[in-house]
């Protein structure tokens, strides 16, 4: 029977000494049953791997080596490429000795569903279901409170997707109408009650449009409703209630500003980025909203450069409504890229936008370097120096 015991550390060390080079790479410690135990990266692979064999017995590195049957690695052109490859390998293999990137973080999204009577929800995942997603955010309870406030003020339903709907302008063929709402929110006038024929389709869709405009930062109707209630309460000398409504309006205004900050933070991570590589293997990336859309060798001549500029312009010049897109796993990539540029502000000098006259390019995609720097700070959860609040939960 084959032995399940790992080889002596000296055997692994000799293999590293004989074959590993001091250049950027991603490596994997492989254990019994071909299970990946640990994924790491280094800009000097040989030196990094040899350091594992000098670790004290009570250190994590020694424990990893004690379970390792084989060490694999792939060379990459640069530290930036190593970071991306490490993140993706950790997400793919879920190694038990990795902590960073492995644990699912407490990200959430605001979801405006695509239904006959759309709902405003908090979601942990992005799904290809036609809904509009906003985020990512940390601080689920804070985001949930904002969603609940907006839904109440605009009287949007929060019942199950399977709830049977009956709008006021819907023909009742059998004459058995029951105008009683199916939930307490409907009785308290916190829901338009499309389940009980208390609103038309147009009325409900109008409120949905206001919710979407609020999330896009184009309307302040929910805040205006609270301010109107506050003034009415003050006129009735209900000062305690007026103060409560004032505080609710203040919290909602902060949430609105944080939504706008999140939008700016993500949009600012959109540019072309050229990274010098080992032995001249430069790579060029098109990054849109913090996600890598193109990763290719740097163009070698004018024809390749022009073709690349056109592709980049088509991606970066796209004008669409702000909302989260892609897969949930990409959230970690967005935050990794934000952190990269925050810790290395000099790397901004290697970024640029395609020429304004390139096909498909829109001037709306231009961004100032100061906005980009503050955006990286917000995506890392730090408040910008000018005092604007960080995106909800990204603190």
Shared domain for 76 and 17, answered yes or no, is: yes
Distance (Å, whole) CA 175 – CA 190 = 27
List of residues 6+ apart from 230 with CB closer than 8 A: 242, 245, 246, 249
Shared domain for 118 and 188, answered yes or no, is: yes
Per-residue pLDDT, 267? 80
Shared domain for 118 and 205, answered yes or no, is: yes
Per-residue pLDDT, 95? 96
Shared domain for 273 and 361, answered yes or no, is: yes
240 within a domain of the structure (yes/no): no
Per-residue pLDDT, 31? 96
Shared domain for 28 and 82, answered yes or no, is: yes
Per-residue pLDDT, 365? 39
Shared domain for 25 and 69, answered yes or no, is: yes
255 within a domain of the structure (yes/no): no
Shared domain for 84 and 130, answered yes or no, is: no
Shared domain for 117 and 207, answered yes or no, is: yes
Per-residue pLDDT, 200? 92
Distance (Å, whole) CA 330 – CA 339 = 14
Per-residue pLDDT, 105? 59
Per-residue pLDDT, 173? 57
204 within a domain of the structure (yes/no): yes
Among the three residues 49, 68, 93, which one is the final residue of a domain in this structure? 93
Shared domain for 114 and 26, answered yes or no, is: no
Asked whether the beta carbons of 92 and 102 are under 8 A apart, the reply is: no
> Along the 395 residues of the chain, how does pLDDT read in single tens digits?
355 788 999 999 999 999 999 999 999 999 999 999 999 999 999 999 999 999 999 999 999 999 999 999 999 999 999 999 999 999 999 999 998 655 555 678 899 999 999 999 999 888 888 899 888 787 888 889 999 999 999 999 999 999 988 888 876 655 555 677 778 888 888 899 899 888 999 999 999 999 998 888 787 889 999 999 999 999 999 999 899 999 999 989 888 888 778 777 778 899 999 999 999 999 999 999 888 999 999 999 999 999 999 999 999 987 655 555 556 667 888 889 988 998 999 999 999 988 655 554 443 334 334 444 444 444 444 444 433 333 333 33
Shared domain for 213 and 113, answered yes or no, is: yes
Shared domain for 146 and 182, answered yes or no, is: yes
211 within a domain of the structure (yes/no): yes
230 within a domain of the structure (yes/no): no
241 within a domain of the structure (yes/no): no
**Concatenated DSSP letters for 251-314?**
HHHHHHHHHHHHHHHHHTS-EEEEE--GGG--EEEEEETTEEEEEEEPP-SHHHHHHHHHHHHH
Query: Would strands 271-275 and 132-138 be described as parallel, antiparallel, or unpaired?
Result: unpaired
209 within a domain of the structure (yes/no): yes
Per-residue pLDDT, 138? 76
260 within a domain of the structure (yes/no): no
Total domain count, the chain: 3
Write the CATH number for 44. Answer: 3.40.1440.10
What is the domain extent for residue 25? Answer: 9-93
Asked whether the beta carbons of 106 and 138 are under 8 A apart, the reply is: yes
Shared domain for 149 and 123, answered yes or no, is: yes
């Amino acid at each position: 029977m084959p032995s399940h015991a790992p080889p002596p550390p000296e055997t692994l060390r000799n293999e590293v000494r004989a074959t590993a080079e001091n250049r950027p790479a991603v490596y994997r410690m492989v254990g019994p049953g071909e299970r990946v135990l640990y994924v790491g990266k280094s800009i000097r692979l040989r030196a990094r791997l040899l350091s594992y064999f000098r670790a004290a017995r009570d250190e994590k590195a020694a424990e990893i080596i004690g379970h390792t049957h084989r060490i694999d690695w792939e060379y990459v052109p640069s530290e930036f490429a190593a970071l991306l490859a490490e993140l993706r390998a950790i997400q793919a293999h879920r190694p038990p000795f990795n902590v960073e990137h492995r644990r699912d973080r407490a990200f959430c999204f605001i979801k405006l569903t695509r239904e006959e009577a759309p709902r405003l929800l908090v979601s942990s995942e992005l799904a290809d279901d036609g809904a509009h997603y906003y985020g990512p955010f940390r601080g689920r309870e804070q985001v949930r409170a904002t969603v609940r406030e907006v839904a109440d003020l605009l009287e949007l339903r929060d019942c199950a997707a399977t709830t049977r709907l009956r709008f006021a302008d819907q023909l009742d063929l059998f004459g058995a109408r029951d105008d009683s709402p199916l939930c307490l929110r409907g009785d308290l006038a916190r829901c338009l009650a499309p389940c009980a024929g208390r609103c038309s389709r147009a009325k409900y869709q109008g409120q949905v449009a206001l919710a979407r405009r609020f999330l896009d930062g184009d309307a302040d109707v929910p805040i205006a409703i609270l301010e109107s209630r506050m003034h009415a309460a003050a006129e009735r000398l209900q000062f305690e209630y007026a103060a409560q409504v004032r505080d609710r309006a203040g919290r909602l205004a902060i949430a609105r500003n944080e939504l706008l900050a999140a939008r700016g933070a993500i949009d600012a991570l959109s540019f072309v980025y050229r990274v010098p590589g080992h032995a001249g293997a430069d790579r060029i990336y098109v990054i849109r909203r913090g996600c890598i859309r193109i990763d290719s060798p740097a163009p070698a001549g004018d024809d390749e450069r022009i073709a690349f500029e056109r592709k980049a312009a088509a991606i970066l010049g796209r004008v669409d409504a702000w909302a989260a897109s892609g897969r949930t796993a990409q959230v970690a990539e967005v935050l990794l890229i934000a952190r990269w540029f925050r810790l290395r502000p000099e790397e901004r000098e290697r970024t640029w936008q395609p020429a304004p006259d390139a096909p498909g390019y829109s001037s709306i995609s231009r961004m100032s370097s100061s906005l980009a720097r503050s955006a990286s700070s917000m995506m890392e959860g730090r408040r910008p120096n000018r005092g604007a609040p960080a995106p909800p939960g990204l603190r």
